[in-house]
Amino acid sequence: MSDQLQTPIEYLKGVGPNRAQLLRRELGISTYADLLQFFPTRYIDRTKYYKIAELRNTMAEVQIIGKIVHLKTIEGKRGQNRLTATFVDDTGQLELVWFKGQKWIRDTIKINVPMVVFGKINQFGNQVNMAHPEMEPLDQHQQQLRSALQAVYPSTENLSKKNITSRVVSNMMQNLFLETGGNFAETLPDYQIEQMNLMKKPDALFNIHFPKSNEHLAKAQFRLKFEELFYIQVRLLMNNLIRKHKIQGHAFTVVGDYFNAFYHRHLPFELTDAQKRVIREIRNDMATNAQMNRLLQGDVGSGKTIVALMSMLIALDNGFQSCLMAPTEILANQHFRGLSDLANGLGINIKLLTGSTKTAERKLIHEELITGKLHILIGTHALLEDKVQFENLGLAVIDEQHRFGVEQRSKLWKKSEIPPHVLVMTATPIPRTLAMSLYGDLDVSVIDELPPGRKPIQTVHRYDSNRLKVWKFLKDEIAKGRQVYIVYPLIQESEKMDFKDLMDGYESISRDFPLPQYSVSMVHGQMKPAEKDAEMERFSQGKTNIMVATTVIEVGVNVPNASVMVIESAERFGLSQLHQLRGRVGRGAEQSYCILMTSFKLSSDTQTRLETMVRTNDGFEIAEVDLKLRGPGDLMGTQQSGVLNLRIADIVRDRDILQLARNVALKLLKEDAPLVKPEHAIVAKVYHELTRKSNIWNYIS
């Protein structure tokens, strides 16, 4: 892009220092380039002019030609004055109203001068009015750079207060095009533009801000969305290629005694085809000199732990240690117990390191790690401490990776001269569109079938008024020897929200399921870890029939005998959380159930969530619905949401364009990964520009 676009925004006609400061603070617009890429959110047809006699309060925004003939201030209660103007044309009159910025409006309004006003119509009785209209003299209006569809730009409360309306932004944009001559550099190769029949860059930028027609607008949007997603994919795929070529990994060429002994003599059940496929993918990765970086997705209970263990056994067969890092002590403990049981009889030294590990045990772990006596270390963030040093770390497995920041993960790599192979596991299914955008630089494996003998969980939605029938069902299940979870969203009563709180729930459940016939456990986030673990242990051992809990049990409890999950106030939970909670049951061979309890007052989004849960157990389908309802930022939480600050594309609505962009980027890099062919000079230039930026998503076209 030309140097002119790096000009600070205050130098643009119609901006100046004060407005520039506001634009920087409110919208992050510092340069001409930032303004050019401040894209409209919608468009209004400004080719039609209405007469006052035609106006109805059902209309959206309208524009009218007329004159202001009278202006007055009306005093309201508690000093809330409003400024009103009588606006007339040859068919009638309309009241214009301002509640804010009255002094500025009064100073700028000209009486009896032909004007064009634009805004939304309101009606009180027989009187129609327009609040805070956009206004400009008719002669200026006729000289404007005008298009059939007028852009509407996003705004903030502070911009509105200072009267920086969408119209004002549009005028700034017009000045930008006039000053630069709309002469913007092309950023895609000529052959791509030709093959895909794309609009050229300067035309696309003009038509996104000043569309000549709906057709021109659609072509401009497609071109700019494709380009944004294309360069994100180039960057992600290039990272993957660079890592495979530059970052040397340990070549695990041997599949030896540990792996084979486990596979042939200790495997508790036949692996599913999906597990076998994933293990093959991991074996192929680890056999090369490149560092493996693989994301393993699989629903709760799909058998990721066995895959992790078998990958660790390959590392061990090649003389290397492994570690598994989990986000909570409960989950680390569960992995430790699970892996220790599976590996029993193989002569493997497995240890657990968490914040609760005693000093003497820590000392032993540190010694055995350095000497290589310790084969597999499982733990929490405690693994990242500087004292934790391995003799030769060959494989790092990270569970529920979205809970760890990039910085934390990089500390693991530094514990080995050659970075270890990395296997990232998640039970949170990530929609394909999101995986392509967030984890496009990782290779992805999916376990998409449950182990044999597992029955799909039956999910039902019940209202609070059905509680007696639900309790009867729970008693029948307990009579069969099964156990039950009852999960609440809150720990203490919230005055703002009329939802059941855990303590009340616990007391009423204890009354309805009394001792000695029934025994009830309780777990919540405010308990000490030791108390929590003791209660979990009682439930795991079958000493209690019912576990009353908050969402602390979302991850980390594996009780095959628990067959019913009751989720109270299910309307309070997001889809992925409901799905995670449901995954706590269905781990044995018996039929399991999930009961979603709600009040009658439900929003349409909540209805969609509950209907989705009842309809399907497929985590990926659920994740797609969740993505549509909540958007990518919310779905990934604050840690990842910044990743998807896209300027114009939307990964939910534009998934087809995203897939196309990825395919085009893949094809280009297969043919010319170093980007040295003359026809790819433009791609190389933009790519290097992006890599210089600290945040590639602050996309500069």
Tokens 């990242």 — which residue? Answer: 384
Mean pLDDT over 66-71 rounds to: 92
Whether residue 295 sits in one domain with residue 173: no
Tokens 């002590």 — which residue? Answer: 329
pLDDT tens digits, 626-635: 877 876 554 4
Range of the domain at 278: 257-447
Mean pLDDT over 118-145 rounds to: 81
How are strands ordered across the β-sheet holding 546-549? Answer: 458-463, 593-598, 562-567, 483-487, 546-549, 520-523
With respect to residue 331, please indicate whether it lies within any of the assigned structural domains: yes
Cα–Cα distance, 293 to 285 (Å, whole number): 9
Last residue of a domain, one of 447, 475, 495: 447
Share of the chain above pLDDT 70, in %: 90
- Number of domains making up the chain: 5
Instruction: Give the tokens for residue 680.
Output: 């790819």
DSSP-derived letter for residue 383 is: G
Whether residue 57 sits in one domain with residue 39: no
Whether residue 292 sits in one domain with residue 302: yes
Is the pLDDT assigned to residue 154 strictly greater than 50? yes
The pLDDT value recorded for residue 439 is: 67
With respect to residue 54, please indicate whether it lies within any of the assigned structural domains: yes
Cα–Cα distance, 502 to 495 (Å, whole number): 14
Last residue of a domain, one of 558, 587, 616: 616
Whether residue 51 sits in one domain with residue 36: no
With respect to residue 637, please indicate whether it lies within any of the assigned structural domains: no
Tokens 């506001």 — which residue? Answer: 22
Task: Count Cβ atoms below 10 Å from residue 292 Cβ, excluding itself.
Answer: 27
Is the pLDDT assigned to residue 696 strictly greater than 70? no
Whether residue 432 sits in one domain with residue 385: yes
Whether residue 59 sits in one domain with residue 72: yes
Whether residue 486 sits in one domain with residue 520: yes
Cα–Cα distance, 324 to 458 (Å, whole number): 33
More reliable by pLDDT, 342 or 141: 342
The CA-atom distances, in angstroms, between 44 and each of 120, 149, 207, 252 are 12, 5, 14, 61
Whether residue 241 sits in one domain with residue 311: no
Whether residue 441 sits in one domain with residue 509: no
Cα–Cα distance, 447 to 307 (Å, whole number): 10
Whether residue 270 sits in one domain with residue 414: yes
Q: The domain that contains 611 carries what CATH number?
A: 3.40.50.300
The pLDDT value recorded for residue 427 is: 76
Whether residue 399 sits in one domain with residue 278: yes
33 contacts 6 by C-beta, under 8 angstroms: yes
pLDDT tens digits, 278-302: 999 999 999 988 888 888 988 777 8
Mean pLDDT over 31-51 rounds to: 88
With respect to residue 699, please indicate whether it lies within any of the assigned structural domains: no
Chain centroid to Cα 29, Å, comes to 25
Consecutive H or E run containing 684: helix 681-692
With respect to residue 362, please indicate whether it lies within any of the assigned structural domains: yes
pLDDT tens digits, 461-519: 999 999 999 999 999 999 999 999 999 886 555 544 434 577 888 899 999 999 899 99
Cα–Cα distance, 254 to 507 (Å, whole number): 58
Cα–Cα distance, 565 to 643 (Å, whole number): 34
Cα–Cα distance, 294 to 633 (Å, whole number): 23
Name the residue type at position 480. Answer: K
To the question of pTM greater than 0.75 for the whole model, the response is no
Is the pLDDT assigned to residue 138 strictly greater than 60? yes
Whether residue 53 sits in one domain with residue 40: no
Task: Count Cβ atoms below 10 Å from residue 233 Cβ, excluding itself.
Answer: 25
Query: CA torsion, points 223, 229, 234, 240, in degrees to nearest 10?
Result: -170
With respect to residue 194, please indicate whether it lies within any of the assigned structural domains: no
Confidence of residue 408 (pLDDT cuts 50, 70, 90): low
Confidence of residue 637 (pLDDT cuts 50, 70, 90): very low
pLDDT tens digits, 615-628: 998 887 888 788 77
With respect to residue 176, please indicate whether it lies within any of the assigned structural domains: yes
With respect to residue 96, please indicate whether it lies within any of the assigned structural domains: yes
More reliable by pLDDT, 4 or 1: 4
Is the pLDDT assigned to residue 535 strictly greater than 90? no
